Amino acid sequence: MTERLIVFDTTLRDGEQSPGATMTEDEKIEVARQLVKLGVDVIEAGFPAASPGDLAAVARIAREVKGVVVCGLARANDADIDAAWEALRFAESPRIHTFIATSPIHMEYKLRKTPDEVVELAYAAVARARRYVSDVEFSAEDATRSDPDFLCRIFATAIQAGATTINIPDTVGYATPEEFAQLVRFIIEHTPGIERVVVSAHCHNDLGLATANTLAAVQAGARQVEVTINGIGERAGNTALEEVVMALHTRRDYYGGILPRIVTEQLVPTSKLVQRITGIHVQPNKAIVGANAFAHEAGIHQDGMLKHRATYEIMTPQSVGWEASRLVLGKHSGRAGFTARLRELGYGDLPRERVEELYQRFIALCDRKKTVTDADLIAIVEEQLSQVPERYQLLGWRAHSGSDGRAEAWVKLKVDGQEREASATGNGQIDALFKAIDRLVGHQCELEAFHIEAVTPGEDAQGEVSVRLRCGEAVYNGRGVATDIIEAGIKAYLMALNRSALVTTEVRR
Protein backbone atom coordinates (compact mmCIF):
# COMPACT_ATOMS: atom_id res chain seq x y z
CA MET A 1 0.00 0.00 0.00
CA THR A 2 1.22 3.49 -0.88
CA GLU A 3 0.30 6.52 1.22
CA ARG A 4 0.60 9.99 -0.34
CA LEU A 5 3.04 12.55 0.97
CA ILE A 6 2.52 16.21 0.06
CA VAL A 7 5.65 18.03 -1.12
CA PHE A 8 5.57 21.74 -0.26
CA ASP A 9 8.44 23.43 -2.10
CA THR A 10 9.65 26.73 -0.67
CA THR A 11 12.66 27.28 -2.94
CA LEU A 12 11.12 30.53 -4.22
CA ARG A 13 10.47 31.85 -0.71
CA ASP A 14 12.69 30.38 1.98
CA GLY A 15 15.28 29.28 -0.55
CA GLU A 16 15.51 32.76 -2.04
CA GLN A 17 16.36 34.06 1.43
CA SER A 18 19.82 32.51 1.02
CA PRO A 19 22.36 35.34 0.76
CA GLY A 20 22.93 36.01 -2.92
CA ALA A 21 20.06 33.81 -4.13
CA THR A 22 17.68 36.61 -5.13
CA MET A 23 15.86 35.82 -8.39
CA THR A 24 14.23 38.05 -10.97
CA GLU A 25 10.56 37.68 -11.80
CA ASP A 26 11.37 35.83 -15.04
CA GLU A 27 13.75 33.51 -13.20
CA LYS A 28 11.08 32.71 -10.61
CA ILE A 29 8.64 31.81 -13.38
CA GLU A 30 11.24 29.51 -14.96
CA VAL A 31 11.87 27.73 -11.65
CA ALA A 32 8.14 27.48 -10.89
CA ARG A 33 7.43 25.82 -14.24
CA GLN A 34 10.23 23.34 -13.64
CA LEU A 35 8.82 22.58 -10.18
CA VAL A 36 5.53 21.67 -11.86
CA LYS A 37 7.41 19.29 -14.17
CA LEU A 38 9.10 17.86 -11.09
CA GLY A 39 5.69 17.14 -9.59
CA VAL A 40 5.63 19.18 -6.38
CA ASP A 41 2.19 19.66 -4.82
CA VAL A 42 2.60 23.18 -3.41
CA ILE A 43 4.84 26.05 -4.52
CA GLU A 44 5.42 28.70 -1.89
CA ALA A 45 6.00 31.45 -4.41
CA GLY A 46 7.09 34.20 -2.04
CA PHE A 47 6.24 36.66 0.72
CA PRO A 48 3.91 39.19 -0.98
CA ALA A 49 4.02 41.76 1.84
CA ALA A 50 7.84 41.84 1.80
CA SER A 51 8.10 44.12 -1.24
CA PRO A 52 6.15 45.25 -4.31
CA GLY A 53 8.50 43.12 -6.42
CA ASP A 54 7.77 40.01 -4.40
CA LEU A 55 4.04 40.64 -4.63
CA ALA A 56 4.29 41.06 -8.40
CA ALA A 57 6.31 37.85 -8.80
CA VAL A 58 3.85 35.82 -6.70
CA ALA A 59 0.95 37.30 -8.66
CA ARG A 60 2.53 36.37 -11.98
CA ILE A 61 3.21 32.81 -10.84
CA ALA A 62 -0.40 32.61 -9.61
CA ARG A 63 -1.69 33.69 -13.03
CA GLU A 64 0.66 31.71 -15.28
CA VAL A 65 1.59 28.50 -13.46
CA LYS A 66 -1.12 25.84 -13.41
CA GLY A 67 -1.45 22.31 -12.08
CA VAL A 68 -0.12 23.12 -8.61
CA VAL A 69 -1.16 24.87 -5.40
CA VAL A 70 0.42 28.35 -5.29
CA CYS A 71 1.07 29.63 -1.79
CA GLY A 72 1.97 33.02 -0.34
CA LEU A 73 3.47 33.60 3.10
CA ALA A 74 1.95 36.12 5.54
CA ARG A 75 2.60 37.15 9.10
CA ALA A 76 -0.35 37.02 11.46
CA ASN A 77 -1.66 40.49 10.66
CA ASP A 78 -4.32 41.91 8.38
CA ALA A 79 -1.98 43.77 6.02
CA ASP A 80 0.13 40.69 5.23
CA ILE A 81 -2.89 38.47 4.69
CA ASP A 82 -4.55 41.03 2.43
CA ALA A 83 -1.34 41.34 0.40
CA ALA A 84 -1.15 37.55 0.07
CA TRP A 85 -4.71 37.44 -1.26
CA GLU A 86 -4.01 40.27 -3.70
CA ALA A 87 -1.12 38.23 -5.12
CA LEU A 88 -2.94 34.89 -5.13
CA ARG A 89 -6.45 35.85 -6.22
CA PHE A 90 -5.99 34.58 -9.80
CA ALA A 91 -4.31 31.30 -8.83
CA GLU A 92 -5.91 28.04 -9.92
CA SER A 93 -5.43 26.65 -6.38
CA PRO A 94 -4.41 29.40 -3.89
CA ARG A 95 -3.14 28.86 -0.36
CA ILE A 96 -2.37 31.47 2.30
CA HIS A 97 0.32 30.43 4.76
CA THR A 98 0.26 32.49 7.94
CA PHE A 99 2.57 32.15 10.92
CA ILE A 100 3.42 33.52 14.34
CA ALA A 101 6.23 32.77 16.78
CA THR A 102 5.39 30.53 19.75
CA SER A 103 8.64 30.00 21.67
CA PRO A 104 9.07 31.92 24.97
CA ILE A 105 12.16 33.73 23.67
CA HIS A 106 10.38 34.89 20.50
CA MET A 107 7.15 35.88 22.24
CA GLU A 108 8.99 37.88 24.90
CA TYR A 109 11.77 39.55 22.91
CA LYS A 110 10.54 39.67 19.31
CA LEU A 111 6.76 39.94 19.55
CA ARG A 112 6.57 41.40 23.07
CA LYS A 113 3.28 39.55 23.46
CA THR A 114 1.83 37.26 26.10
CA PRO A 115 0.90 33.69 25.13
CA ASP A 116 -2.80 34.59 25.28
CA GLU A 117 -2.26 37.51 22.90
CA VAL A 118 -0.35 35.25 20.49
CA VAL A 119 -3.23 32.76 20.46
CA GLU A 120 -5.69 35.55 19.71
CA LEU A 121 -3.55 36.82 16.84
CA ALA A 122 -3.27 33.31 15.40
CA TYR A 123 -7.04 32.84 15.46
CA ALA A 124 -7.70 36.21 13.84
CA ALA A 125 -5.09 35.63 11.11
CA VAL A 126 -6.38 32.20 10.15
CA ALA A 127 -9.99 33.39 10.21
CA ARG A 128 -9.15 36.35 7.95
CA ALA A 129 -7.23 34.14 5.51
CA ARG A 130 -10.08 31.65 5.47
CA ARG A 131 -12.45 34.38 4.27
CA TYR A 132 -10.31 34.64 1.14
CA VAL A 133 -9.34 30.98 0.48
CA SER A 134 -10.41 27.52 1.55
CA ASP A 135 -6.78 26.33 1.86
CA VAL A 136 -5.03 27.92 4.86
CA GLU A 137 -1.79 26.78 6.47
CA PHE A 138 -0.76 27.86 9.95
CA SER A 139 2.79 27.63 11.28
CA ALA A 140 4.10 28.00 14.83
CA GLU A 141 7.48 29.64 14.28
CA ASP A 142 10.29 28.17 16.43
CA ALA A 143 8.05 25.26 17.41
CA THR A 144 10.90 23.05 18.57
CA ARG A 145 11.80 25.55 21.31
CA SER A 146 8.15 26.06 22.28
CA ASP A 147 6.19 24.47 25.11
CA PRO A 148 4.45 21.36 23.66
CA ASP A 149 1.23 22.02 25.57
CA PHE A 150 1.12 25.59 24.25
CA LEU A 151 1.65 24.27 20.71
CA CYS A 152 -1.35 21.97 21.09
CA ARG A 153 -3.42 24.89 22.33
CA ILE A 154 -2.52 27.27 19.49
CA PHE A 155 -2.85 24.56 16.84
CA ALA A 156 -6.31 23.66 18.14
CA THR A 157 -7.25 27.34 17.95
CA ALA A 158 -5.95 27.58 14.36
CA ILE A 159 -7.93 24.50 13.37
CA GLN A 160 -11.04 25.98 14.97
CA ALA A 161 -10.50 29.16 12.92
CA GLY A 162 -10.32 27.16 9.69
CA ALA A 163 -6.71 26.04 9.13
CA THR A 164 -6.40 23.02 6.85
CA THR A 165 -2.65 22.41 7.34
CA ILE A 166 -0.74 22.67 10.62
CA ASN A 167 3.00 23.16 10.21
CA ILE A 168 5.62 22.35 12.88
CA PRO A 169 8.82 24.24 12.03
CA ASP A 170 12.26 23.56 13.43
CA THR A 171 13.03 27.17 12.56
CA VAL A 172 16.57 27.31 13.95
CA GLY A 173 17.60 23.71 13.25
CA TYR A 174 17.68 22.90 16.96
CA ALA A 175 15.95 19.52 17.15
CA THR A 176 17.33 16.01 16.91
CA PRO A 177 15.39 13.32 15.01
CA GLU A 178 14.22 11.50 18.14
CA GLU A 179 12.89 14.57 19.92
CA PHE A 180 11.34 16.02 16.76
CA ALA A 181 9.46 12.78 16.13
CA GLN A 182 8.36 12.78 19.76
CA LEU A 183 7.07 16.36 19.41
CA VAL A 184 5.10 15.52 16.26
CA ARG A 185 3.54 12.48 17.92
CA PHE A 186 2.68 14.54 21.03
CA ILE A 187 0.93 17.19 18.93
CA ILE A 188 -1.01 14.59 16.94
CA GLU A 189 -2.12 12.84 20.12
CA HIS A 190 -3.08 15.93 22.14
CA THR A 191 -4.46 18.51 19.67
CA PRO A 192 -8.26 18.58 19.29
CA GLY A 193 -9.31 18.45 15.65
CA ILE A 194 -5.88 17.40 14.38
CA GLU A 195 -7.44 14.49 12.50
CA ARG A 196 -9.17 16.98 10.16
CA VAL A 197 -5.95 18.63 8.94
CA VAL A 198 -2.61 17.77 7.35
CA VAL A 199 0.37 17.85 9.69
CA SER A 200 3.49 19.36 8.12
CA ALA A 201 7.19 19.56 9.00
CA HIS A 202 9.57 22.40 8.08
CA CYS A 203 13.19 21.82 9.17
CA HIS A 204 16.34 23.90 8.94
CA ASN A 205 19.82 22.45 8.67
CA ASP A 206 21.84 24.34 11.29
CA LEU A 207 23.10 21.10 12.84
CA GLY A 208 23.04 19.14 9.58
CA LEU A 209 19.93 17.23 10.70
CA ALA A 210 17.22 18.72 8.49
CA THR A 211 16.68 15.66 6.32
CA ALA A 212 16.87 13.27 9.27
CA ASN A 213 14.41 15.40 11.26
CA THR A 214 11.99 15.61 8.34
CA LEU A 215 12.04 11.85 7.79
CA ALA A 216 11.54 11.31 11.53
CA ALA A 217 8.48 13.59 11.34
CA VAL A 218 7.08 11.53 8.46
CA GLN A 219 7.48 8.38 10.54
CA ALA A 220 5.68 10.12 13.40
CA GLY A 221 2.67 11.04 11.25
CA ALA A 222 3.47 14.20 9.27
CA ARG A 223 2.11 14.00 5.74
CA GLN A 224 3.50 17.21 4.30
CA VAL A 225 7.21 18.08 4.04
CA GLU A 226 8.46 21.62 3.43
CA VAL A 227 11.65 21.49 1.40
CA THR A 228 13.85 23.34 -1.09
CA ILE A 229 15.84 22.28 -4.15
CA ASN A 230 19.46 21.62 -3.17
CA GLY A 231 18.54 22.48 0.44
CA ILE A 232 19.08 26.22 -0.07
CA GLY A 233 17.66 28.61 2.49
CA GLU A 234 18.40 30.80 5.50
CA ARG A 235 21.76 30.23 7.23
CA ALA A 236 22.69 26.56 6.73
CA GLY A 237 19.63 25.98 4.56
CA ASN A 238 16.48 23.88 4.56
CA THR A 239 15.65 20.24 4.12
CA ALA A 240 16.72 19.17 0.62
CA LEU A 241 13.78 17.97 -1.46
CA GLU A 242 15.88 15.47 -3.38
CA GLU A 243 17.20 13.81 -0.23
CA VAL A 244 13.79 13.26 1.36
CA VAL A 245 12.23 12.04 -1.88
CA MET A 246 14.94 9.51 -2.66
CA ALA A 247 15.15 8.30 0.95
CA LEU A 248 11.44 7.49 0.80
CA HIS A 249 11.76 5.82 -2.61
CA THR A 250 14.90 3.86 -1.82
CA ARG A 251 13.79 2.79 1.67
CA ARG A 252 10.07 2.39 1.09
CA ASP A 253 10.36 -0.88 2.99
CA TYR A 254 11.36 1.09 6.09
CA TYR A 255 9.00 4.04 5.67
CA GLY A 256 5.94 1.94 4.95
CA GLY A 257 5.40 2.97 1.34
CA ILE A 258 4.81 6.67 2.07
CA LEU A 259 5.65 8.31 -1.26
CA PRO A 260 5.34 11.71 -2.96
CA ARG A 261 4.24 12.11 -6.59
CA ILE A 262 7.62 13.56 -7.56
CA VAL A 263 9.00 12.66 -11.00
CA THR A 264 12.41 11.62 -9.71
CA GLU A 265 14.06 11.76 -13.14
CA GLN A 266 13.58 15.55 -12.98
CA LEU A 267 15.62 15.96 -9.78
CA VAL A 268 18.99 16.59 -11.43
CA PRO A 269 17.60 18.92 -14.15
CA THR A 270 15.78 20.93 -11.47
CA SER A 271 18.88 21.06 -9.29
CA LYS A 272 21.00 22.31 -12.19
CA LEU A 273 18.43 24.98 -13.06
CA VAL A 274 18.38 26.34 -9.50
CA GLN A 275 22.18 26.29 -9.37
CA ARG A 276 22.39 28.23 -12.63
CA ILE A 277 19.82 30.84 -11.65
CA THR A 278 20.94 31.44 -8.05
CA GLY A 279 24.67 30.99 -8.61
CA ILE A 280 24.74 28.74 -5.53
CA HIS A 281 26.39 25.49 -6.60
CA VAL A 282 26.20 22.27 -4.63
CA GLN A 283 29.35 20.57 -3.39
CA PRO A 284 30.50 17.59 -5.51
CA ASN A 285 29.67 15.10 -2.75
CA LYS A 286 26.11 16.44 -2.29
CA ALA A 287 23.67 13.53 -2.02
CA ILE A 288 21.63 12.72 -5.15
CA VAL A 289 22.51 15.80 -7.24
CA GLY A 290 26.23 16.33 -6.56
CA ALA A 291 28.68 15.63 -9.38
CA ASN A 292 30.23 12.76 -7.41
CA ALA A 293 26.96 11.20 -6.20
CA PHE A 294 27.36 8.34 -8.68
CA ALA A 295 31.12 8.56 -9.27
CA HIS A 296 33.56 5.88 -8.13
CA GLU A 297 37.34 6.24 -7.99
CA ALA A 298 38.55 3.67 -5.45
CA GLY A 299 39.81 0.50 -7.09
CA ILE A 300 37.78 -1.77 -4.79
CA HIS A 301 34.60 0.14 -5.59
CA GLN A 302 35.27 0.14 -9.32
CA ASP A 303 35.92 -3.58 -9.31
CA GLY A 304 32.66 -4.18 -7.45
CA MET A 305 30.71 -1.89 -9.80
CA LEU A 306 32.04 -3.72 -12.83
CA LYS A 307 30.88 -7.02 -11.37
CA HIS A 308 27.47 -5.83 -10.13
CA ARG A 309 26.22 -2.24 -9.88
CA ALA A 310 24.33 -2.86 -6.65
CA THR A 311 27.57 -3.57 -4.79
CA TYR A 312 28.08 0.18 -4.32
CA GLU A 313 24.93 1.94 -5.59
CA ILE A 314 21.58 1.86 -3.79
CA MET A 315 19.72 3.67 -6.59
CA THR A 316 20.34 4.10 -10.29
CA PRO A 317 21.72 7.40 -11.57
CA GLN A 318 19.03 7.38 -14.28
CA SER A 319 16.29 7.33 -11.63
CA VAL A 320 17.24 10.86 -10.50
CA GLY A 321 18.20 12.34 -13.86
CA TRP A 322 21.87 11.49 -14.34
CA GLU A 323 22.87 9.71 -17.55
CA ALA A 324 25.01 7.02 -15.94
CA SER A 325 27.44 6.15 -13.18
CA ARG A 326 31.03 7.28 -13.64
CA LEU A 327 34.16 5.32 -12.90
CA VAL A 328 36.50 8.22 -12.22
CA LEU A 329 40.11 7.47 -12.95
CA GLY A 330 42.50 8.75 -10.32
CA LYS A 331 45.35 7.57 -8.14
CA HIS A 332 42.98 5.36 -6.11
CA SER A 333 41.75 3.50 -9.20
CA GLY A 334 42.74 -0.09 -9.71
CA ARG A 335 43.62 -2.07 -12.80
CA ALA A 336 40.03 -3.30 -13.24
CA GLY A 337 38.62 0.22 -13.64
CA PHE A 338 41.55 1.29 -15.80
CA THR A 339 41.22 -1.72 -18.11
CA ALA A 340 37.44 -1.27 -18.34
CA ARG A 341 37.86 2.34 -19.43
CA LEU A 342 40.43 1.32 -22.06
CA ARG A 343 37.87 -1.13 -23.48
CA GLU A 344 35.21 1.62 -23.55
CA LEU A 345 37.64 3.82 -25.48
CA GLY A 346 38.26 1.11 -28.08
CA TYR A 347 41.55 -0.31 -26.78
CA GLY A 348 40.26 -3.71 -25.74
CA ASP A 349 42.73 -5.82 -27.71
CA LEU A 350 45.96 -4.61 -26.11
CA PRO A 351 48.22 -7.33 -24.68
CA ARG A 352 48.42 -7.61 -20.90
CA GLU A 353 52.03 -6.42 -20.82
CA ARG A 354 51.17 -3.26 -22.74
CA VAL A 355 48.17 -2.58 -20.48
CA GLU A 356 50.44 -2.86 -17.44
CA GLU A 357 52.89 -0.36 -18.96
CA LEU A 358 50.02 2.02 -19.66
CA TYR A 359 48.68 1.56 -16.13
CA GLN A 360 52.02 2.54 -14.62
CA ARG A 361 52.13 5.66 -16.79
CA PHE A 362 48.55 6.42 -15.77
CA ILE A 363 49.45 6.16 -12.05
CA ALA A 364 52.41 8.48 -12.60
CA LEU A 365 50.11 10.98 -14.32
CA CYS A 366 47.65 10.79 -11.40
CA ASP A 367 50.36 12.12 -9.09
CA ARG A 368 50.48 15.25 -11.24
CA LYS A 369 46.77 15.67 -12.06
CA LYS A 370 43.70 15.69 -9.83
CA THR A 371 41.46 14.16 -12.48
CA VAL A 372 42.46 12.05 -15.46
CA THR A 373 40.05 12.42 -18.36
CA ASP A 374 39.36 10.19 -21.35
CA ALA A 375 41.40 12.60 -23.46
CA ASP A 376 44.33 12.08 -21.10
CA LEU A 377 44.02 8.31 -21.43
CA ILE A 378 43.85 8.47 -25.21
CA ALA A 379 46.96 10.65 -25.23
CA ILE A 380 48.82 8.15 -23.03
CA VAL A 381 47.78 5.19 -25.17
CA GLU A 382 48.50 6.84 -28.50
CA GLU A 383 51.87 8.08 -27.35
CA GLN A 384 52.77 4.60 -26.11
CA LEU A 385 51.53 2.89 -29.27
CA SER A 386 53.52 5.29 -31.44
CA GLN A 387 56.75 4.76 -29.51
CA VAL A 388 59.83 3.57 -31.33
CA PRO A 389 62.87 1.85 -29.80
CA GLU A 390 64.52 4.39 -27.55
CA ARG A 391 68.18 4.90 -28.40
CA TYR A 392 67.85 8.20 -26.54
CA GLN A 393 66.01 8.09 -23.21
CA LEU A 394 65.27 11.14 -21.06
CA LEU A 395 66.56 10.88 -17.48
CA GLY A 396 66.28 14.48 -16.31
CA TRP A 397 66.29 18.13 -17.29
CA ARG A 398 66.42 21.66 -15.92
CA ALA A 399 65.89 25.02 -17.59
CA HIS A 400 65.48 28.61 -16.58
CA SER A 401 65.21 31.93 -18.35
CA GLY A 402 64.76 35.64 -17.72
CA SER A 403 63.10 38.67 -19.25
CA ASP A 404 66.06 39.18 -21.60
CA GLY A 405 65.11 35.98 -23.43
CA ARG A 406 68.38 34.23 -22.62
CA ALA A 407 67.90 30.72 -21.24
CA GLU A 408 70.15 28.05 -19.77
CA ALA A 409 69.37 24.35 -19.82
CA TRP A 410 70.77 21.04 -18.65
CA VAL A 411 69.73 17.62 -19.95
CA LYS A 412 70.58 14.10 -18.88
CA LEU A 413 69.99 11.25 -21.35
CA LYS A 414 70.74 7.58 -21.62
CA VAL A 415 72.42 7.17 -25.01
CA ASP A 416 72.98 3.59 -26.16
CA GLY A 417 72.75 2.48 -22.52
CA GLN A 418 75.19 5.05 -21.17
CA GLU A 419 74.21 8.07 -19.10
CA ARG A 420 75.33 11.41 -20.48
CA GLU A 421 74.57 15.02 -19.68
CA ALA A 422 75.12 18.38 -21.31
CA SER A 423 74.29 22.05 -20.86
CA ALA A 424 73.55 24.78 -23.38
CA THR A 425 72.20 28.29 -23.72
CA GLY A 426 69.61 29.50 -26.17
CA ASN A 427 66.86 31.90 -27.06
CA GLY A 428 64.30 30.53 -24.62
CA GLN A 429 64.14 27.32 -22.65
CA ILE A 430 63.04 25.06 -25.52
CA ASP A 431 65.87 26.29 -27.75
CA ALA A 432 68.44 25.78 -24.97
CA LEU A 433 67.16 22.27 -24.16
CA PHE A 434 67.14 21.16 -27.79
CA LYS A 435 70.73 22.44 -28.23
CA ALA A 436 71.81 20.46 -25.15
CA ILE A 437 70.16 17.34 -26.60
CA ASP A 438 71.89 17.90 -29.95
CA ARG A 439 75.26 17.93 -28.15
CA LEU A 440 74.51 14.56 -26.57
CA VAL A 441 73.10 12.99 -29.73
CA GLY A 442 76.09 14.10 -31.81
CA HIS A 443 74.34 15.34 -34.94
CA GLN A 444 72.20 18.29 -35.91
CA CYS A 445 68.67 18.32 -37.29
CA GLU A 446 66.64 21.33 -38.34
CA LEU A 447 63.43 21.99 -36.44
CA GLU A 448 60.81 22.70 -39.09
CA ALA A 449 57.63 22.75 -36.96
CA PHE A 450 56.72 22.96 -33.29
CA HIS A 451 53.02 22.79 -32.32
CA ILE A 452 51.45 22.94 -28.85
CA GLU A 453 47.91 21.86 -27.99
CA ALA A 454 46.11 21.27 -24.70
CA VAL A 455 44.84 17.71 -24.43
CA THR A 456 42.30 18.61 -21.74
CA PRO A 457 40.97 21.84 -20.21
CA GLY A 458 42.09 23.19 -16.84
CA GLU A 459 45.24 24.49 -15.24
CA ASP A 460 46.59 20.95 -14.76
CA ALA A 461 45.84 19.91 -18.34
CA GLN A 462 48.22 17.70 -20.23
CA GLY A 463 49.93 19.46 -23.08
CA GLU A 464 50.66 17.77 -26.39
CA VAL A 465 53.62 18.91 -28.46
CA SER A 466 54.21 17.84 -32.06
CA VAL A 467 57.52 18.49 -33.80
CA ARG A 468 58.87 17.94 -37.31
CA LEU A 469 62.63 17.57 -37.79
CA ARG A 470 64.53 17.63 -41.05
CA CYS A 471 67.69 15.57 -40.88
CA GLY A 472 69.35 15.92 -44.24
CA GLU A 473 66.78 14.94 -46.86
CA ALA A 474 64.56 12.99 -44.42
CA VAL A 475 61.75 14.38 -42.25
CA TYR A 476 60.76 12.84 -38.91
CA ASN A 477 57.76 13.57 -36.73
CA GLY A 478 57.64 13.33 -32.97
CA ARG A 479 54.90 13.68 -30.37
CA GLY A 480 55.06 14.15 -26.60
CA VAL A 481 52.46 14.50 -23.88
CA ALA A 482 53.00 15.76 -20.31
CA THR A 483 51.48 18.12 -17.78
CA ASP A 484 54.63 20.26 -18.22
CA ILE A 485 54.63 21.63 -21.76
CA ILE A 486 58.42 21.90 -21.83
CA GLU A 487 58.77 18.22 -20.93
CA ALA A 488 56.22 17.38 -23.62
CA GLY A 489 58.44 19.26 -26.09
CA ILE A 490 61.52 17.28 -25.01
CA LYS A 491 59.63 13.99 -25.42
CA ALA A 492 58.46 14.98 -28.90
CA TYR A 493 61.98 16.01 -29.93
CA LEU A 494 63.46 12.74 -28.65
CA MET A 495 60.78 10.66 -30.42
CA ALA A 496 61.70 12.30 -33.71
CA LEU A 497 65.41 11.74 -33.04
CA ASN A 498 64.78 8.09 -32.13
CA ARG A 499 62.93 7.62 -35.41
CA SER A 500 65.88 9.18 -37.18
CA ALA A 501 68.26 6.83 -35.37
CA LEU A 502 66.09 3.81 -36.22
CA VAL A 503 66.13 4.68 -39.93
CA THR A 504 69.89 5.23 -39.84
CA THR A 505 70.40 1.82 -38.21
CA GLU A 506 68.18 0.11 -40.78
CA VAL A 507 70.09 1.77 -43.66
CA ARG A 508 73.39 0.58 -42.23
CA ARG A 509 72.06 -2.95 -42.08
- DSSP-derived secondary structure for 218-255: HHHT--EEEEBGGG--STT-B-BHHHHHHHHHHTHHHH
Mean pLDDT across 178-194 = 98
pLDDT > 90? residue 154: yes
**pLDDT tier at 173 (50, 70, 90 boundaries)?**
very high
Determine phi and psi for 328, rounding to 5 degrees: -85, 125
Relative to beta strand 463-471, strand 474-482 is antiparallel
> What span, in angstroms and rounded, lies between the C-alpha atoms of 113 and 496?
86
Q: Of the given ranges (228-232, 237-241, 400-404), which has the lowest mean pLDDT? A: 400-404
Q: Given CA atoms 301, 331, 393, 447 in this order, what sign does their dihedral have?
A: positive
Confidence at residue 364, expressed as pLDDT on a 0 to 100 scale: 79
DSSP 315: S
Among residues 119, 141, 213, the alpha carbon closest in space to that of 175 is found at: 213
Q: Is the pLDDT of residue 393 over 70?
A: yes
pLDDT (0 to 100) of residue 358: 81
* Gap between the Cα atoms of 494 and 413, Å rounded: 10
Helical (H) or strand (E) element with 201: strand 198-203
Contacts of 103 (CB under 8 A, 6+ apart): 141, 142, 143, 145, 146
Q: Residue 442's pLDDT is what? A: 81
Q: How much is the pTM?
A: 0.72
The per-residue pLDDT for 55 is 96
Share of the chain above pLDDT 90, in %: 61
- In terms of Cα–Cα distance, which of 177, 163, 165 is closest to 205? 177
Map out the domains of the chain as residue ranges.
Answer: 3-278, 295-385, 392-508
Domain 392-508 is classified in which CATH homologous superfamily? Alpha-isopropylmalate synthase LeuA, regulatory domain (3.30.160.270)
> H or E segment at 299?
helix 299-307
Amino acid letter for position 414: K
Once rounded to an integer, what is the mean pLDDT over residues 231-241? 96
Contact assessment for residue 12 and residue 241, using Cβ atoms and an 8 Å cutoff? no
Phi and psi dihedrals of 448, rounded to 5?
A: -95, -30
State the Cα–Cα distance between residues 6 and 261, nearest whole angstrom: 8
Confidence at residue 502, expressed as pLDDT on a 0 to 100 scale? 63
Is 3-278 a domain of CATH 3.20.20.70? Answer: yes
Over the stretch 284-302, which tens digit does the pLDDT of each residue have? 889 999 877 777 555 566 5
What would the mean pLDDT of 372-388 be, rounded to a whole number?
67
Is the model's pLDDT at 509 over the cut of 60?
A: no
Q: Which residue has the higher pLDDT, 383 or 47?
A: 47
Pairing of strands 258-259, 224-227: unpaired
